[in-house]
Amino acid sequence: MNKIFFSIAFTLCLTFGFAQKAPYVIYNAKSKKVSYEKMLKKLEQKDMVLFGELHNNPIAHWLQYELTSDLYTKKPLILGAEMVEADNQDELDAYLAGTIDYKALDSTARLWNNHKTDYAPLVDFAKDKKLVFVASNVPRRYASMVYKGGFEALDTLSAQEKAWIAPLPIAFDPELPGYQNILKMMGDHGSPTLVMAQAIKDATMAHFILKNYKEGSLLLHYNGAYHSNDYEGILWYLKKDQPDLQYGTISTVMQDDVQHLEDENKGIADFIICVDNNMTTTY
């Protein structure tokens, strides 16, 4: 296992003791506690799984690695992530093929600041096992264009640039509860184009997930929990285009008491990883 994950495991022991207090509990959609093994058994039957994380949560990142390595033994696996943008797929592929090293990848692709600690182990797993790893997210400059000028701003893009986003026109339902909640959370700073900027991310990730899926495989996608909570976001677009595939979702939440799932966290995914608020963060 990667040294980073040894470090995470050691941190968990220091924070919670070796056997006294569990740092997380997994719940199913009916708010019942379930084991990791039961979650794995359910998810291995799916065509696609969206693993919704909190970006700085070490429990989520650790379980992503564990689930990835375990699903690899069950059926052909394809990986994908919000954390790499579609126009960096060539650089990512070059790293996976071994034609460039990590330093070159870091200098040519727009990796997240926490890539080395939180996502590099997943990318390296794909490299070691010769798996496809999909750079699924919309390039951020295009999300910014949508925020400033709505979907119409994308009409000005070249054919090459349009290849890095979901096909136009973008289907959009502004009344979805998740999008409406964004407006409520942002208050006076919220706007219709802000929600559109979220939607272009969801639509583009769904597009590249479906583009790279192969029948008989399982595509495991890592994304921020808000992009798939409540079976919306990415999943809304996936189901719109491919309603017959079998989808699974995971979300990550934090609570003071992990032994009882709070009402706001109930039913937001097929499986909810409830992490103690005292857990350390990766940044």
SS (H, E, C) 124-170: HHHHHHCCCEEEEECCHHHHHHHHHHCHHHHHHCCHHHHCCCCCCCC
pLDDT of residue 187: 77
Confidence class for position 89, pLDDT limits 50, 70, 90: very high
DSSP element (H, E) containing 84: strand 77-85
The mean predicted confidence, pLDDT, of the chain is 93
Q: What is the mean pLDDT of residues 28-48?
A: 98
When comparing pLDDT for 6 and 5, which is higher?
A: 5
* CA–CA gap between residue 218 and residue 226 (Å, rounded): 22
Confidence class for position 36, pLDDT limits 50, 70, 90: very high
Q: What is the mean pLDDT of residues 66-87?
A: 98
Residue type, 278: N
Residue 67 has pLDDT above 90, yes or no: yes
CB neighbourhood size of 240 (10 A): 12
Residue 19 has pLDDT above 50, yes or no: no
pTM across the whole model? 0.92
* CA–CA gap between residue 246 and residue 199 (Å, rounded): 22
pLDDT of residue 20: 58
pLDDT of residue 233: 98
Q: What is the CATH number of domain 3-276?
A: 3.40.50.11550
pLDDT of residue 22: 85
Q: What is the mean pLDDT of residues 123-129?
A: 98
Q: What is the mean pLDDT of residues 80-86?
A: 98
Q: Tens of pLDDT along 141-180?
A: 999 999 999 999 999 999 999 999 999 999 999 999 999 9
Least Cα distance to 48 among 136, 143, 145, 179 occurs for 136
Confidence class for position 18, pLDDT limits 50, 70, 90: very low
The dihedral through the CA atoms of 258, 260, 266, 271 has a sign that is positive
Length, in residues, of the chain: 283
Q: What is the mean pLDDT of residues 176-204?
A: 90
* CA–CA gap between residue 112 and residue 106 (Å, rounded): 9
pLDDT of residue 12: 53
Residue 77 has pLDDT above 80, yes or no: yes
Work out the angle at residue 189's Cα, subtended by the Cα atoms of residues 136 and 111, and round it to the nearest 5 degrees: 25
pLDDT of residue 33: 98
Lowest mean pLDDT among 9-13, 55-59, 114-118, 266-270: 9-13
Least Cα distance to 133 among 159, 103, 109 occurs for 109
Which residue's entry shows tokens 């291995």? Answer: 44
pLDDT of residue 224: 98
